[in-house]
């Protein structure tokens, strides 16, 4: 089988992988089994945590036809036993003659499948369309490298940097289109995180609503961080989905607790004190700032004191994208690696915002 044909089958596997869910504790993976005569005998993709891996789904579809076939897999078949056994072993036992994979597994707990297959007598080729495969799982790979959930900080502010008026009111700084955009982005994360102070001050639901106002079928986990109690009558308790109270003021501990619950992508919507705690700890990976063409002149800033006393210590961000959303501007930026608090976390200030 030539390189052109291998790339074509791998593109089909990538199409399957893209149908998998994110966020999820596991990567998105696709698999295509091709018989020696060029016939597809099985396909599969990973449907999320707790479901069969892509290779297992494809092998199940193929049955005995897998013997002698070539498996095209977007990620190196795993070598570890979790909820299921190693996919590398299942492929070898099925009698496939060759395995072609795109991206090597960056997870040290699961890598090594290529060696297991080779040891079992299966021909193995790696690196076919590796860049395309890596792009599909870019956020998952980042969580693996960091060993914690990714954190996206969302803020809404006036032109003069105020997140609320002097009396504490903040609804609504931005317009309806910007708020709808926030809901669409919330839906791409698996947890929305605020502090208990935000719950007490704003009484949010933290749900995802789609255009038209209806609740989305899938609701991210709603996480409240802080040592104060969540009131019995808080609207966040009545919303659909799962609510978890993280009884800590330490951002690292909060993320560890969420990681253990399978959370890999966090949407941070807390107030200025909570935002400052995560920024100071080096725990903000993306920023979405919604800026309204409005002035308040007084009131809380979008972020609390970061301990910066000189412009030489400014925390820089790289601009990713700027868009006009209704009557507001959305800025997507990422912290510059090497600036204070990024990559080399500082001491975490206590917060109960």
CA angle 324/330/333 to nearest 5° reads 135
Contact call for residues 298 and 165 (beta carbons, < 8 A): yes
Query: In 3-state terms, what secondary structure has residue 202?
Result: helix
Q: Which residue has the tokens 């009484």?
A: 203
Look at residues 155, 146, 149, 141 and name the one whose alpha carbon lies nearest to residue 102: 141
Residue 245 CA to residue 268 CA, distance in Å, equals: 15
159 is written with which tokens?
Answer: 């032109």
Look at residues 72, 15, 17 and name the one whose alpha carbon lies nearest to residue 42: 72
Query: Bridge-partner residues for 142, per DSSP?
Result: none
Look at residues 51, 54, 48 and name the one whose alpha carbon lies nearest to residue 113: 54
Question: How many alpha carbons fall within 13 Å on the CB side of residue 126?
Answer: 14
Q: Longest C-alpha distance within the chain, in Å?
A: 73
Look at residues 250, 249, 189, 198 and name the one whose alpha carbon lies nearest to residue 221: 189
286 is written with which tokens?
Answer: 């993306």
Query: Bridge-partner residues for 221, per DSSP?
Result: 191
Q: Which residue has the tokens 């297992």?
A: 56
- Quick count: other Cβ atoms within 10 Å of Cβ 154? 20
Query: In 3-state terms, what secondary structure has residue 288?
Result: strand
Catalytic residues: 55
Burial 195-233 (b: 16+ CB within 10 A, else e): bbbbbbbbebbbbbbeeeeeebeebbbbbbbbeeebeee
């Amino acid at each position: 089988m030539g390189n052109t044909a291998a790339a074509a089958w791998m593109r089909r596997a990538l199409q399957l992988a893209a149908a998998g869910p994110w966020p999820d504790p596991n990567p998105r993976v696709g698999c295509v089994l091709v018989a020696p005569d060029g016939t597809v005998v099985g396909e599969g993709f990973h449907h999320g945590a707790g479901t069969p891996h892509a290779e297992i789904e494809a092998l199940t579809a193929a049955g005995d036809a897998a013997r002698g076939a070539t498996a095209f897999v977007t990620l190196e078949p795993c070598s570890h036993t979790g909820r299921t056994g190693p996919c590398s072993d299942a492929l070898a036992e099925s009698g496939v003659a060759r395995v072609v994979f795109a991206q090597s597994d960056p997870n040290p707990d699961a890598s090594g499948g290529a060696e297991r297959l080779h040891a079992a007598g299966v021909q193995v080729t790696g690196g076919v369309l590796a860049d395309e495969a890596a792009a599909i799982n870019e956020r998952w790979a980042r969580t693996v490298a960091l060993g914690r959930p990714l954190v996206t900080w969302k803020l809404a502010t006036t032109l003069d940097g105020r997140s609320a008026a002097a009396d504490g009111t903040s609804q609504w700084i931005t317009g309806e289109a910007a708020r709808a955009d926030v809901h669409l982005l919330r839906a791409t994360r698996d947890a929305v995180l605020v502090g208990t102070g935000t719950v007490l001050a704003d009484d949010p639901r933290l749900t995802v609503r789609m255009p038209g106002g209806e609740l989305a079928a899938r609701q991210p986990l709603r996480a409240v961080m802080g040592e104060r109690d969540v009131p019995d009558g808080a609207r966040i308790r009545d919303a659909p989905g799962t609510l978890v109270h993280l009884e800590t003021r330490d951002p690292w501990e909060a993320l560890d607790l969420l990681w253990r619950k399978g959370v890999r992508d966090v949407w941070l919507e807390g107030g200025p004190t909570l935002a400052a705690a995560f920024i100071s700890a080096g725990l903000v990976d993306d920023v979405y700032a919604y800026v309204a063409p409005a002035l308040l002149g007084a009131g809380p800033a979008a972020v609390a004191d970061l301990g910066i006393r000189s412009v030489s210590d400014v925390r820089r961000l790289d601009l990713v994208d700027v868009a006009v959303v209704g009557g507001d501007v959305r800025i997507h930026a990422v912290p510059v690696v090497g600036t204070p608090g990024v990559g080399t976390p500082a001491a975490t200030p206590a917060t109960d915002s």
